Structure 1
Amino acid sequence: MTIAEALRDAARRLGTDWARDEAELLMAHALGVTRSAMLLGRMRDPAPLAFAHMLERRLEDEPVAYIIGEAEFYGRRFAVTPDVLIPRGDSEAVIAAALDAAPAPSRILDLGTGSGCLLLTMLAECPGARGWGLDRSAEALMVADANAAALQLKERVRFLKVDWNQPGWAERLGAFDLILANPPYVEAEAELDASVRDFEPAGALFAGADGLDAYRCLIPQLPHLLADQGVAVVEIGHRQAAAVTAIAARAGFSVTVLQDLAGRDRALVMRINRLAKRG
């Protein structure tokens, strides 16, 4: 079977609107070439045996990113493993919001850094910045550190094993011009696609019965970590804007809600409400 024939068969078996894209990503990885190189010069070659095994894994719902070990985010490639969430295009709204709200930060803190995609993207976009990435998972921090090395950012970033649920976690961190966070925000009983529910780390997904437990714990602690005129940008579920805004307001923040490319609420830009503080 040629590569062209194998791709057609795989797209048919996968049977989704994005099946062809997934099949091409898997095939290019099996060949060890870029997708464009495959499409332009390899379509008549015999399909590699590795592709069939990779396709079977995908047919059993394993995400493509875990099969090939990487995902694209904001135009860059990030290594991923089942120890971290897969970077998604929705989260690029956090980057856009952060670049607009804090275009030249000096110190950036990323809470729940996972693969490091948010923090490392901001460091790549802001050459004068230094970053601190916190996560309670040692395995996730290893992935983030590998991504920092691949992007040649290791000299500007530190990764720390920290759990924001534990007392004293923020001591000696200092103040930051920009805080990023993509905390767990999925309801415990939410219906999820099998590729998410069965493969991505539950601790990075679920946050109590209503999906708000992480925000209730984390947001009230952020004012002590923000420098004067600092800003925090937090990702939310697309139905959570009102609830998380209320949590932020009680913590002394003024909030702007921003949308992702699909027009869904996706990020909160939070600044200390100075008038409320003086009052």
Structure 2
Amino acid sequence: MTIADLIRQAAARLEPVTDTARLDAELLMAHVLGVSRSDLLLRHMREEGPQDFAALIDRRAAHEPVAYIIGEQEFYGRPFAVTPGVLIPRADSETTVQAALDSARPDARVLDCGTGSGALLLTFLAERADARGVGIDASEAARHCAQTNTEALGLAERAQITAADWSKPGWADALGQFDLVISNPPYVEADAALNRQVRDWEPAEALFAGAEGLDDYRLLIPQLRGLLKPGGVAVLEIGWQQAETVSALAKAEGFTAELRRDLAERPRALILR
């Protein structure tokens, strides 16, 4: 059976699982062959199909995210290694990075709270050659993944990945102050209805933040003033229904809040000054 035939069959099988069945099948086939998706479509569709493709489709049919199966997710035009111990970077979060790039000084010292794969911090540093930063995470698995990406992107001299938990007293005592604090904290309500590939596979500690999804904002925002240098800025990703509430939390701590929307025109990030 040709690769084209296998992809058609796989896409049909995945249609009940995902709205991107054909794309998922193509990405998984490209991964098996060790080629890019564009190369697959241009050069390999008439070839005999590989036997180990079926096992990957079985995993996807069980709602395992494509990024975990292939171990990689593109973000801001760069490949990031991802593992089941980290949240998969979303295109929506590119809005958060862009807000930071637009708001912070080019040579900023950056703190990324809850760095996960390192996508926010490392993208900022890759776009700003004079910037340096620290990514913190309470998860050892996340720190390992972020360090892998730091080295793969050639940023080890400018990025430090370290253990810290902003819910613990004294967590930031040794970190100093920063020109930019950026964070995509957990912000999902505990009882939110999520797609199975999110709820069953991605780490709960990176998703859920209490009954209202606000627990981590309530912890982190009051600490921002002590983390920021004079004139510094914080950029926080938010859920699309949280702009008003999180803005109010920030204003209660003496910050102004500027909203940025994602490509779907949903509220996505707040710039705090």
TM-score range, shorter chain: over 0.9
| Deviating more after overlay: 202-211 vs 100-109 | 100-109
User: How far is 1:106 from its partner?
Assistant: 2.5
DSSP-derived class of the 2:144 partner: helix
- Are 2:105 and 2:179, in contact at CA under 8 Å, matched by a contact in 1? no
User: How far is 1:17 from its partner?
Assistant: 3.6
- Are 1:103 and 1:126, in contact at CA under 8 Å, matched by a contact in 2? no
User: How far is 1:37 from its partner?
Assistant: 1.4
2:120 aligned with 1:110: no
User: How far is 1:103 from its partner?
Assistant: 4.5
TM-score (norm 2): 0.98
- Are 1:73 and 1:89, in contact at CA under 8 Å, matched by a contact in 2? yes
DSSP-derived class of the 2:201 partner: coil
- Are 1:105 and 1:178, in contact at CA under 8 Å, matched by a contact in 2? no
Match of 1:6 in 2: 6
Match of 2:77 in 1: 75
Match of 1:149 in 2: 151
User: How far is 1:46 from its partner?
Assistant: 1.3
1:130-279 alignment to 2 at 5 Å? 130-271=132-273
Match of 1:124 in 2: 126
Task: Tell me which stretches of 4 or more aligned residues in structure 1 moved more than 3 Å.
Answer: none
C-alpha distance in 2 between matches for 1:253 and 1:245: 9
Q: What one-letter code is carried by the residue in structure 2 that aligns with 1:229?
A: G
Match of 1:274 in 2: none
Gaps spanning 5+ residues in structure 1: where? 272-279
C-alpha distance in 2 between matches for 1:103 and 1:53: 47
DSSP-derived class of the 1:192 partner: coil
DSSP-derived class of the 1:253 partner: coil
Q: Which deviations, in whole Å up to 9, do the C-alpha atoms of 1:6-37 show, x marking residues without a partner? A: 11111111114421111110000011111111
Q: How many residues are treated as equivalent by the alignment? A: 271
C-alpha distance in 2 between matches for 1:88 and 1:77: 12
Match of 2:55 in 1: 53
Identify the match of residue 41 of structure 2 among 33, 39, 42.
39
User: How far is 1:251 from its partner?
Assistant: 1.1
Q: Which deviations, in whole Å up to 9, do the C-alpha atoms of 1:154-178 show, x marking residues without a partner? A: 1111111101100000102111111
User: How far is 1:55 from its partner?
Assistant: 0.4
Q: Identity percentage over the alignment? A: 59
C-alpha distance in 2 between matches for 1:174 and 1:79: 29
Gaps spanning 5+ residues in structure 2: where? none
DSSP-derived class of the 2:187 partner: coil
Match of 1:275 in 2: none
- Are 2:106 and 2:131, in contact at CA under 8 Å, matched by a contact in 1? yes
TM-score (norm 1): 0.96
| Deviating more after overlay: 190-199 vs 98-107 | 98-107
DSSP-derived class of the 1:92 partner: helix
CA-atom RMSD in angstroms: 0.8
Q: What one-letter code is carried by the residue in structure 2 that aligns with 1:236?
A: I
- Are 1:131 and 1:157, in contact at CA under 8 Å, matched by a contact in 2? yes
Q: What one-letter code is carried by the residue in structure 2 that aligns with 1:164?
A: W
| Deviating more after overlay: 171-180 vs 61-70 | 171-180
| Deviating more after overlay: 9-18 vs 260-269 | 9-18
User: How far is 1:105 from its partner?
Assistant: 3.4
